[in-house]
Amino acid sequence: MIKIGCCGFPVNRPTYYRNFNVVEIQQTFYQLPKIETALKWREEAPLDFEFTIKAWQLITHPSTSPTYKRLKITLQNKENYGFFKPTKEVFSAWKETEEICSALKARIVLFQCPASFKPTPENKDNIKKFFTTIDRKGYIFVWEPRGEWKEEEIEKLCKELDLIHGVDPLKNKPLYGKLRYFRLHGKDGYKYKYSEEDFKQLIKLIEKDIETYIMFNNVYMFEDAKKFEDFLKSVSL
């Protein structure tokens, strides 16, 4: 019921596959890989290995986001991207993202929003239109809002749109979802190294009989994920 991994490959892929059974692909957020590349990743990984996908930034982030510096294509009509806008550009970005999901046989897709995606009526309307328009194809969608969202706003949207609330559990509590999707960003930033006390706190947040993904996303992600995996084996939930 507990799956431990990293957000991205912090080591070469063969080494990673030997140590973990799940990874969250980060490259798909910045620039989608070629289908052939995704198929290669799927073929080289063990059969029971799981890929989760971080959705393309063209869906969630406006073109003014600094993350677009890593985009390898030239965009037209830049104002039509991000914030789940009901535009052909955003829906096309989802279609291309889904093709990578399909190639990797992924079942979970993460939509991480910037703090600038605020709980305005327009943004709420956009996210509703997006998730009620696209073909969900059986995927499990995780939404990680940031910034000024109130708990009741997040919970209401997650219930209405059947979204998993993705959180860093050492900072915020999960508000809705049939499974837990935890992303550990570092208590005080990306360079944070998790301690045994953190692991003890994290274990207390794992609910029995609820499928839980614990994805480390800090500088020491590989080391910390391994340490937590070993720590988990030494205790009984």
Q: What is the pLDDT of residue 234?
A: 87
pLDDT at 237: 55
Strand order in the sheet with 164-165: 164-165, 140-144, 108-112, 50-54, 22-25, 2-7, 212-216, 180-184
Distance, in Å, from the CA atom of 194 to the CA atom of 201, rounded to the nearest integer, reads 11
Burial readout 93-113 (b: 16 or more C-beta within 10 A, e: otherwise): bbeebbebbebbebebbbbbb
Number of Cβ atoms within 10 Å of the Cβ of 134: 16
- Note the pLDDT tens digit of each residue in 98-133: 999 999 999 999 999 999 999 999 999 999 999 999
pTM summary value? 0.96
Which CATH superfamily groups domain 2-233? Answer: Protein of unknown function UPF0759 (3.20.20.410)
Q: Which residues pair with 165 in a beta bridge?
A: 143
Q: What is the pLDDT of residues 120-167, one digit of tens each?
A: 999 999 999 999 999 999 999 999 999 999 999 999 999 999 999 999
Distance CA 192, CA 57 (A): 25
